[in-house]
């Protein structure tokens, strides 16, 4: 047994060295793994900055005013627009501004004002910027406003600008009016002869921009929706009230009922009055005087003809 003694202690040393090596290797491996995996977060595919941003960014105005007649960068920056959290197909934020009512009425008239749902009608977005400057009119103060000057930014930014959004969908044919599935594709094929500018989409509310407008109507519960277009030079009206006769030079003229349009959905289906304003020119702004007259006539008409109690009862 005595000669074995040095051998067994040698064996013990060898085992200890082996264990230490295995242990060291394990520690080294764990530390290396921790470092590498630590560096890999955040994941490679973060969403675009604009989509994630909840803070207003001045570059949004810089981009917008390049496409908007008579709207300066300073004017845009001073309007207090905020991202709504919703973004277009290409990730540009849908911007909005809220104006609280003056509190003199128990239930103020809630107005949802939408511009630029068709991207190739830049005046229909620009005029909303101009009106936001004029919103300080005392009569407008009695109302609660949610103003969204550019509903279809991707169409506005396209070269050339497009009526449709980045998925090629006419947002004003994409609202879920009754029997959309049967009527909207049929109308598009038979009446427009598959006009790509009037494609209603594969399903109602398939687009982020129209979905946002739809959801906003549910959240904000407007008593009236105003949607600005061009260039037909007239007014249209859907919903439970007497149509306005004239704003500025624009006269009331029943344009028609289209499957999937906002007027059909809001005015016909939801029973919320929808005023559609068609400016006379999609690229050239009305004069300053005419811009103000349309605004003033519209606000006066709403204050005289739309009663919050009656409208909200009708909407329910």
Please tell me the count of residues contacting Zn ion according to CB under 5 A: 3
Minimal distance in Å, beta carbon 150 to Zn ion? 13
User: b/e map of 14-32 (b: 16 or more CB within 10 Å)?
Assistant: eeeeeeeeeeeeeeeeeee
Part in contact with Zn ion (CB under 5 A); list of ranges 67-75, 82-90, 93-101, 229-237: 229-237
Count how many Cα atoms sit within 13 Å of the Cα of residue 30 in the half-sphere of its side chain.
Answer: 6
Which strand (E) or helix (H) includes residue 192?
A: none
Sheet holding 110-114, edge to edge: 82-87, 93-99, 144-148, 110-114, 224-229, 274-278, 234-238, 250-252, 246-247
Burial of 212 (0-12, 13-18, 19+ CB in 10 A): buried
In the bound state with Zn ion, the residue whose beta carbon lies nearer, of 119 and 244, is 119
- Please, which residue, 141 or 229, has the CB nearer to Zn ion? 229
* Binding status of residue 229 toward Zn ion by CB under 5 A: yes
- DSSP state for residue 287 in the 8-state scheme: P
Which C-beta is closer to Zn ion: that of 121 or that of 234?
Answer: 121
Tell me the β-bridge partners of 252.
235
Q: Which residue is nearest to Zn ion (CB)?
A: 229
CA dist., res. 316 & res. 304, Å (int): 22
Give me the least distance between CB of 70 and Zn ion, in Å please. 19
Q: How many CB atoms lie within 10 A of CB 193?
A: 8
Q: Which is nearer to Zn ion, 118 or 141 (CB)?
A: 118
Residue number with CB closer to Zn ion (140 or 184):
184
Is residue 198 close enough to count as binding Zn ion by CB under 5 A?
no
CB 122, min distance to Zn ion, A: 11
* Closer residue to Zn ion in complex, CB, 236/297: 236
Cβ 296 to Zn ion, closest distance in Å? Answer: 23
**What does the chain come to in residues?**
316
What track of x and - describes contact with Zn ion for positions 105 through 144 (by CB under 5 A)?
-------------x--x-----------------------
Q: What are the residues binding Zn ion (CB under 5 A)?
A: 118, 121, 229
């Amino acid at each position: 047994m005595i000669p074995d003694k040095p051998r067994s202690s040698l064996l013990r040393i060898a085992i200890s060295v082996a264990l230490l090596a295995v242990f060291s290797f394990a520690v080294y491996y764990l530390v290396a793994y921790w470092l590498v995996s630590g560096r890999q977060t955040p994941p490679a595919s973060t969403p675009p900055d604009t989509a994630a941003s909840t803070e207003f960014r001045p570059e949004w105005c810089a981009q917008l005013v390049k496409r908007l007649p008579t709207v300066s960068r300073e004017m845009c920056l001073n309007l207090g627009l905020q991202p709504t959290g919703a973004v277009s197909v290409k990730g540009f934020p849908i911007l909005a501004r809220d104006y609280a009512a003056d509190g003199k009425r128990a239930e103020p008239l809630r107005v949802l004002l939408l511009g630029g749902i068709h991207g190739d009608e830049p005046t229909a977005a620009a005029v909303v910027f101009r009106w936001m400057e004029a919103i300080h009119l005392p009569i407008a103060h009695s109302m609660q406003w949610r103003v969204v000057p550019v509903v279809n930014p991707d169409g506005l930014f396209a070269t050339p600008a497009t009526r449709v959004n980045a998925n090629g969908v006419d947002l004003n044919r994409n609202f879920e009016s009754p029997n959309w599935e049967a009527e909207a594709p049929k109308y598009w094929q038979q009446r427009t002869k598959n006009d790509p500018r009037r494609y209603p989409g594969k399903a109602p509310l398939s687009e982020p921009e129209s979905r946002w407008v739809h959801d906003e109507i549910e959240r904000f519960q407007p008593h009236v929706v105003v949607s600005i277009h061009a260039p037909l030079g007239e007014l249209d009206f859907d919903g439970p009230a007497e149509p306005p006769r004239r704003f500025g030079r624009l006269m009331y003229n029943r344009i028609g009922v289209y499957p999937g349009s906002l007027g059909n959905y809001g005015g016909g289906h939801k029973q919320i009055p929808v005023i559609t304003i068609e400016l006379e020119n999609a690229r050239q702004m009305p004069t300053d005087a005419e811009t103000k007259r349309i605004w003033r006539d519209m606000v006066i008409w709403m204050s005289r003809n739309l009663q919050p109690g009656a409208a909200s009862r009708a909407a329910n």
